[in-house]
Structure 1
Amino acid sequence: MKFGRRGVPAYLASLLAMMMGWWSSYAHAADPLSVFVSILPQKYFVERIGGNRVQVLVMVGPGQSPETYEPTPRQMVKLSQANLYFRIGVPFENIWLKRIIAANPNMEVVDCREGISLLSTGEAHGTGGEDEGHGATDPHLWTSPVLVKKMAVHIRNALAAVDPAYSHQFEANYQAFVQELEQLDRFIRQTLAEVTHHRFMVFHPAWRYFAHAYGLEEIAIEQAGKEPGAKSLAALIEWGRREGVRAIFVQKQSSRASAEVVARAIGAEIITLDPLAEDYVNNLRYVATVLARVLR
Structure 2
Amino acid sequence: MHLVNKFILILLAGITMSCQSGKIEKDPNLISVSILPQKYFIERIAGDDFKVNVLIPPGASPATYEPTPMQMKDVAKSIAYLRIGYIPFETVWLDNLLEGTDGIKLIDLSKDIELIKGQEKHGDHFHEGGIDPHIWSSLKSVKILSKNLYQELIKMAPEKKDIYEKNYQQFLSEIEELDQVAEASLSNKKGMSFMIFHPALTYLARDYNLNQISVEMDGKEPSPTHMKHLVEEAQRLSIKHVFVQKQFNVENAKAIVAEINGDVVVIDPLAEDWLTEMKRIITILKD
Verify same fold: TM over 0.5: yes
Output the amino acid matched with 1:287: I
Aligned to 2:105: 108
- What secondary structure is seen at the aligned counterpart in 1 of 2:252? helix
Letter in 1 for 2:135: L
Q: Percent identity?
A: 38
- CA distance in 2 between counterparts of 1:106 and 1:124 reads 38
Over residues 68-89 of structure 1, what are the superposed CA-to-partner deviations in whole Å (9 max), with x where a residue is unaligned? 0111111112111111111012
Q: Say if 2:28 and 2:79, in contact at 8 Å, map to a contact too.
A: no
Residue equivalent to 2:211: 217
**Alignment of structure 1 residues 1-296 onto 2, 5 Å:** 33-88=29-84, 89-120=86-117, 122-123=119-120, 136-195=130-189, 198-293=192-287
Tell me if structure 2 keeps the 8 A contact 1:79–1:103: no
Superposed CA offset, 1:93-133 (max 9, x none): 111111111142311111011111211364499xxxxxxxx
CA gap of 1:121–1:227, structure 2 versus 1, over 3 A, is: farther
1:66 alignment partner AA: P
Q: Does the 8 Å contact 1:32/1:53 carry over to 2?
A: no
Structure 2 unpaired stretches of 5+: 1-26, 123-128
Cα deviations across residues 250-280 of structure 1 (Å, max 9, x unaligned)? 1121122221222112222111111111111
TM superposition shift of 1:137: 1.1
SS in 2 for 1:226: coil
1:201 is displaced (CA, Å) by 0.4
Three-state SS of the structure 1 residue aligned to 2:212 is strand
Give TM-score, length-normalised by structure 1: 0.80
Distance change (3 Å), C-alpha of 1:114 and 1:196: closer
- Asked if 2 retains the 8 angstrom alpha-carbon contact of 1:121 and 1:224, the reply is no
Structure 2 CA distance, aligned partners of 1:203 and 1:122?
17
Write the distance in 1 (CA, Å) between the matches of 2:49 and 2:28: 4
Q: Which amino acid aligns with 1:219?
A: I
1:40 counterpart letter in structure 2 = L
C-alpha deviation, 1:156, in angstroms: 1.3
1:144 deviates by: 0.6
SS at match of 1:200: strand
Q: What is the CA-CA distance between 1:235 and the residue it aligns to?
A: 1.4
Contact preservation (8 Å) 1:202, 1:250: yes
Report the AA paired with residue 230 of structure 1: P
How many angstroms does 1:290 deviate by? 1.2
Cα distance in 1, alignment partners of residues 282 and 231 from structure 2: 24
**1:80 partner SS:** helix
Distance 1:216 1:124 in 2: 18
Whether the aligned pair in 2 keeps the contact of 1:187 and 1:285 (CA below 8 Å) is no
CA displacement, residues 24-64 of structure 1 (integer Å, 9 cap, x when unaligned): xxxxxxx8721111111111111111223211121111111
Q: State the shift of 1:194 in Å.
A: 4.7
Hey, what's the Cα distance between the residues in 2 that align with 1:60 and 1:282? 20
Cα distance in 2 between the residues matched to 1:70 and 1:121: 26
Separation in 1, partners of 2:206, 2:53 = 30
Query: Normalization by structure 2: what TM-score?
Result: 0.83
Say if 1:201 and 1:248, in contact at 8 Å, map to a contact too. Answer: yes
User: What amino acid does structure 1 have at the position aligned with 2:150?
Assistant: R
Contact 2:32 2:53 in 1 (8 A): yes
